[in-house]
Amino acid sequence: MSKALNLLLVLGLLVIAGITGYGIISAVREATRPVTNPGGTVATSVAALLPPTPTPLPNGEAVVISIKALARLETAQFTIEKVIIKEQGQGALGALFGDRVILVAHGDVIAGVDLSKMVASDVVVLPDGKAFVTLPASEIFVTSIDNDKSYVVDRQTGLLTKGDVDLETEARREAQDEIEAAALEAGVLQQAQKNSEIYIRQLLAMLGYTDVTFIHATPTP
């Protein structure tokens, strides 16, 4: 009886020791587990507090290359209609040998800036995001007559002539010159320069330069 009791006591002590040991191991695991997670949280929090690495601004040469890639930048278009009267052989014998054409000409004038003319010294940039830009002078790229919308209102020839076959062509050539002159008088070059600056300002803002000053060149017809 005494031996059985002693055996039970020994088994009981072993069970208690096993439970206690498991508890200690679990406690140690729980105690060490948060060490990793808080460390990651702290690292993340510190990274969030640090200022982001600033993106370097492109230098002046790189900015010029970006602008020159636009080449001939068309920024203004004027549509003008002109009535042209072209005649020859008028006078006392006009009824016999005269020739006259009345043309309604419809034309377009396109102007802009040829950015391929820019050189490195045309752009000066500063680290604080300021840029000073000298654009080429605006110019007229195209003056054209829209033949589909242009038409002859009247053509009169003398009784003794078949008329000059080139008279209408000359009238159209004259119309083209007058349409271009009218566009210049209406300010097509000034509008082209203004629109070019707006476009380039937006481009430089995308490159990181938000304070842009333009140095004006003299427009050329």
Distance CA 143, CA 168 (A): 18
pLDDT digits (tens, 9 = 90+) for 26-50: 544 554 454 444 444 444 454 455 5
> Is 98 within 8 Å of 161 (Cβ atoms)?
yes
Helix/strand/coil (H/E/C) assignment for every residue in the chain: CHHHHHHHHHHHHHHHHHHHHHHHHHHHHHHHHHHHHHHHHHHHHHHHHCCCCCCCCCCHHHHHHHHHCCCEEEEEEEEEEEEEEEEECCCCCHHHHCEEEEEEEEEEEEEEEEHHHCCHHHEEECCCCEEEEECCCCEEEEEEECCCCCEEEEEEECCCCCCCCCHHHHHHHHHHHHHHHHHHHCCHHHHHHHHHHHHHHHHHHHHCCCEEEEECCCCCC
Distance CA 107, CA 80 (A): 5
> Is 180 within 8 Å of 143 (Cβ atoms)?
yes
Q: What is the pTM of this model?
A: 0.67
Decide if pLDDT at 217 tops 90: no
Extents of the domains making up the chain: 1-50, 60-215
Tally the residues of the chain.
221
pLDDT digits (tens, 9 = 90+) for 141-195: 999 999 899 999 988 876 766 767 788 889 999 999 999 999 999 999 999 999 9
What the block records as the tokens of 32 is 């060490």
When pLDDT is cut at 50, 70 and 90, the band that residue 57 belongs to is: confident
**CA nearest 70: which of 122, 124, 114?**
114
